[in-house]
């Protein structure tokens, strides 16, 4: 049985489609990543799967339980670690776990046994009696992940599990997540906007963009699908003639427009820079900058969505700022 089965899941907020007709499967024991920028629909999808939001259309099951008809069974089958911290910093690590163990209705004997197991699993046994307020950011995150495993769920949801952590702590957290997945035997679904995070720890990755899934595969397979290096050309002028010339070259796999230039996929990108500059010169378009990226999950994201993660994040920030501005203008107009 699949850990999660999603069929045509859609969520609308008024006229806005946050999640658009998604279908996918998460296998039992898999570490599955939802990779996309903030605003892509990842958290909305997670909130539907954990029964915090009802879908507008479509169906989904978690551990065999329908997210609409069997909400109690779904909640008993899952652990959740949200992006925002939810620990009591005045309590010790063990006390935080004990509090949640009582919420799950575990007996005193079971509670004591599970707390010992969890603290050992997340490497916090020596700090079990220290107030959580004295923990580092990485230790707090590990405790939260352990708390999510306290009742031995079938599926653990991690929403941006390393957001806000420094790079070293983030990498340490990746090791813990991978180890927990292997040792606890729990299926893990995590959302992330960190390319390297998805690349390093996920068995499979769904690339989520604007509420849709652009592709699902292993990080390696997604990378191999690019078929070459991506050469970004910043250009001063119209690209129409250059695009015609690129289309006629057998060594150009594909190309697409970008802000201020073109992105061209070729084999041996660095060796092709001179050829690309020559084509641009012949087309009467000066090249002002060149960047070469070898195939990785970031270039796969770029190829699938037409933008880098940073560009998508910037677009989302600009959209949010625009929405805030409209709201202010609207409010001012109403006052008048």
Q: What is the pLDDT of residue 318?
A: 67
Give the pLDDT mean for 226-250: 92
Give the pLDDT mean for 150-179: 87
Q: How confident is the model at residue 82 (pLDDT cuts 50, 70, 90)?
A: confident
Res. 327: pLDDT tops 50: no
Q: What is the pLDDT of residue 320?
A: 59
Res. 53: pLDDT tops 60: yes
The DSSP secondary-structure symbol of 271 reads: G
CB neighbour burial string for 297-317, b if at least 16 within 10 angstroms, e if fewer:
bbbbbbbbbebbbeebbeebe
pLDDT tens sequence across 106-122: 899 999 999 999 999 88
DSSP lists the bridge partners of residue 257 as 262
CB neighbour burial string for 107-134, b if at least 16 within 10 angstroms, e if fewer:
eeeebeebbebbbebbebbebbeeebee
Q: What is the pLDDT of residue 335?
A: 41
Q: What is the pLDDT of residue 31?
A: 96
Q: What is the residue-averaged pLDDT of the chain?
A: 89
Give the pLDDT mean for 31-51: 94
Q: What is the pLDDT of residue 7?
A: 97
The DSSP secondary-structure symbol of 41 reads: S
Q: How confident is the model at residue 334 (pLDDT cuts 50, 70, 90)?
A: very low
**How far apart, in whole angstroms, are the C-alpha atoms of residue 233 and residue 63?**
48
CB atoms < 10 A from the CB of 215, how many?
18
Give the pLDDT mean for 178-200: 90
> Domain 4-222 belongs to what topology?
Rossmann fold (3.40.50)
CB 108 within 8 A of CB 115: no
Better-predicted residue by pLDDT, 139 or 329: 139
**How far apart, in whole angstroms, are the C-alpha atoms of residue 217 and residue 212?**
15
Q: What is the pLDDT of residue 319?
A: 66
CB neighbour burial string for 22-47, b if at least 16 within 10 angstroms, e if fewer:
bebebeeebbbbbbbbbbbbbbbbbb
Which class does domain 227-294 fall in?
Answer: alpha beta
Res. 60: pLDDT tops 90: yes
79 three-state secondary structure: strand
DSSP lists the bridge partners of residue 218 as none
Better-predicted residue by pLDDT, 78 or 84: 78
Phi, psi of 178 (to 5 degrees): -65, -45
The DSSP secondary-structure symbol of 133 reads: G
Res. 331: pLDDT tops 60: no
Domain spans of the chain? Answer: 4-222, 227-294, 308-336
Better-predicted residue by pLDDT, 213 or 86: 213
Q: What is the pLDDT of residue 322?
A: 57
DSSP lists the bridge partners of residue 209 as 212
The DSSP secondary-structure symbol of 92 reads: B
CB 242 within 8 A of CB 285: yes
Using CA atoms in the order 316, 321, 327, 333, what is the torsion angle rounded to 10 degrees? -140
Give the pLDDT mean for 232-260: 92
What lies within 8 Å, CB to CB, of 259 at 6+ separation is 311
Identify the CA nearest to 117 among candidates 151, 141, 84.
151
159 three-state secondary structure: strand
150 three-state secondary structure: coil
Of the CA atoms within 13 Å of residue 87, those in its CB half-sphere come to: 30
Identify the CA nearest to 25 among candidates 219, 221, 203, 209.
203
Q: What is the pLDDT of residue 321?
A: 61
**How far apart, in whole angstroms, are the C-alpha atoms of residue 266 and residue 254?**
8
Average the pLDDT over each of 17-21, 53-57, 181-185, 248-252 and give the range with the smallest value: 181-185
């Amino acid at each position: 049985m699949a850990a999660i089965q999603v069929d045509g899941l859609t969520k609308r907020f008024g006229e806005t489609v946050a999640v658009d007709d998604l279908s996918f499967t998460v296998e039992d024991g898999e570490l599955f990543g939802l990779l996309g920028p903030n605003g892509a629909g990842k958290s909305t999808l997670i909130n539907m799967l954990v029964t915090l939001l009802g879908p507008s259309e479509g169906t989904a099951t978690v551990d065999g339980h329908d997210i609409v008809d069997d909400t109690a069974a779904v909640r008993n089958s899952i652990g959740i670690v949200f992006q925002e911290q939810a620990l009591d910093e005045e309590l010790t690590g063990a006390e935080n776990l004990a509090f949640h163990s009582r919420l799950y209705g575990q007996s005193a004997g079971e509670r004591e046994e599970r707390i010992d197991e969890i603290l050992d699993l997340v490497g916090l046994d020596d700090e079990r009696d220290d107030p959580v307020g004295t923990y580092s950011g990485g230790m707090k995150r590990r405790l939260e992940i352990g708390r999510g495993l306290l009742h031995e769920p079938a599926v653990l949801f991690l929403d941006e599990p390393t957001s806000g952590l420094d790079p070293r702590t983030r990498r340490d957290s990746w090791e813990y997540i991978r180890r927990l997945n292997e040792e606890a035997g729990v299926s893990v679904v995590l959302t992330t906007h960190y390319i390297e995070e998805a690349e390093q720890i996920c068995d499979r990755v769904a690339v989520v963009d604007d509420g849709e899934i652009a592709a699902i595969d292993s990080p390696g397979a997604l990378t191999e699908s690019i078929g070459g290096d991506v050469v970004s050309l910043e250009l001063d002028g119209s690209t129409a003639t250059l695009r015609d010339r690129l289309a006629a070259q057998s060594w150009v796999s594909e190309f697409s427009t970008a802000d201020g230039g073109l992105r061209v996929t070729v084999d041996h990108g660095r060796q092709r820079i001179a050829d690309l500059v020559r084509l641009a010169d012949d087309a009467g378009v000066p090249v002002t900058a060149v960047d070469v990226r070898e195939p990785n999950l970031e270039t796969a994201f770029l190829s699938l969505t037409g933008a880098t993660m940073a560009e998508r994040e910037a677009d989302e920030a600009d959209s949010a700022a625009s929405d805030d501005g409209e709201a202010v203008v609207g409010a001012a107009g109403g006052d008048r």
